[in-house]
Amino acid sequence: MTQKDYDEIFTKLLELFPNPDTELNFETPFQLLVAVMLSAQTTDRQVNVVTDKLFLKVKNPNNVLNMTEEEFTKQVSSVNYYKMKAKHIRETAKKLIELAAEKNSKLTKNEKECFDKYWYYLPESIEWLTQLPWVGEKTAKVILYVRYHHDIIAVDTHIHRVANRLWIVKTKEPLETSKEIEKAVPKKWKRIAHHSLILFGRYYCTAKKPQCENCVLKDFCRNPQI
């Protein structure tokens, strides 16, 4: 795929989604982390239903630990794998409090700004983020992309599907896509690639009934269903 192809693809995606952004609702960094952790195998829409009430009580790690385990688990019971997610969110809250207590002098500029404003911080590296319970590479990349504005592409099932249909990558598994898409997408488009591809996969290039007939990117598709 040429630079011109990428320019055309992402220009058309920007026409569809002028301001591509996460559809998860949050205000604080910890709320972002919780929302992303809850979103595994669950739609953003359902996560927002849960967090609309949950985030009235939970804004920082202490708020989670001030609730009983039973109370917090009940608050998130309508998402998939809620018991495991509740357990890991509580463990992550403890870990973030421990990191904050250390007040490490080696904090990055972004971590320090987060700490100064909220008294805790989310690590600004995949290596550190993935040491938190239930935080895999995809979740870590979302945090780096949304919170710290890294030019990085977190791959979910939507991006895996769309990237393969558009010939951006030729892969079998999302983890493989995660590696290949970082090399494939030009730097100039990485700032908008993540959410524009997700939104395109969520509302146009869907898994079961893609809107191929009227698709603005059908000329790039390897398997148009027309």
Same domain, 33 and 133: yes
Residues 36 and 126 in one domain: yes
pLDDT, tens only, 208-226: 999 999 899 999 998 766 4
Nearest C-alpha neighbor of 207 from the set 171, 162, 167: 162
Q: Is residue 226 part of a domain?
A: no
Does one domain contain both 158 and 101? no
What pLDDT does residue 223 have?
75
Confidence grade of residue 100 (pLDDT, cut at 50, 70, 90): very high
Same domain, yes or no, for 106 and 192?
A: no
Q: Assign residue 131 the CATH number of its domain.
A: 1.10.340.30
* pLDDT of res. 225: 63
pLDDT reported for residue 84: 96
Query: Does 141 share its domain with 175?
Result: no
Average pLDDT over residues 160-179: 95
pLDDT 10s digits, 13-30? 999 999 999 999 999 999
Do 130 and 160 have their domain in common? no
Quick count: other Cβ atoms within 10 Å of Cβ 159?
26
Residue 194: pLDDT over 60: yes
Q: Which domain holds residue 104?
A: 29-146
pLDDT recorded at residue 63: 98
Same domain for 76 and 142, yes or no, is yes
CATH number at residue 164: 1.10.1670.10
Does the pLDDT at position 120 exceed 60?
yes
What is the domain count for the chain?
2
Q: pLDDT band for 160, please (50, 70, 90 cuts).
A: very high
Quick one: 36 and 136 in the same domain? yes
Q: Is residue 164 part of a domain?
A: yes
Same domain? 12 vs 36: no
**Mean pLDDT to the nearest integer, 72-88:** 97
Active site residues: 138, 156
42 and 11, same domain (yes or no): no
122, part of any domain: yes
- Dihedral sign from CA coordinates of 29, 191, 139, 103: negative
Mean pLDDT for the chain?
95
Judge whether 225 lies within some domain: no
Residues 53 and 129 placed together within one structural domain of the fold: yes
pLDDT of residue 222: 83
- 72/95 same-domain check: yes
C-alpha distances (whole Å) from 84 to each of 70, 114, 196 are 12, 27, 30
- Confidence (pLDDT) at 226: 47
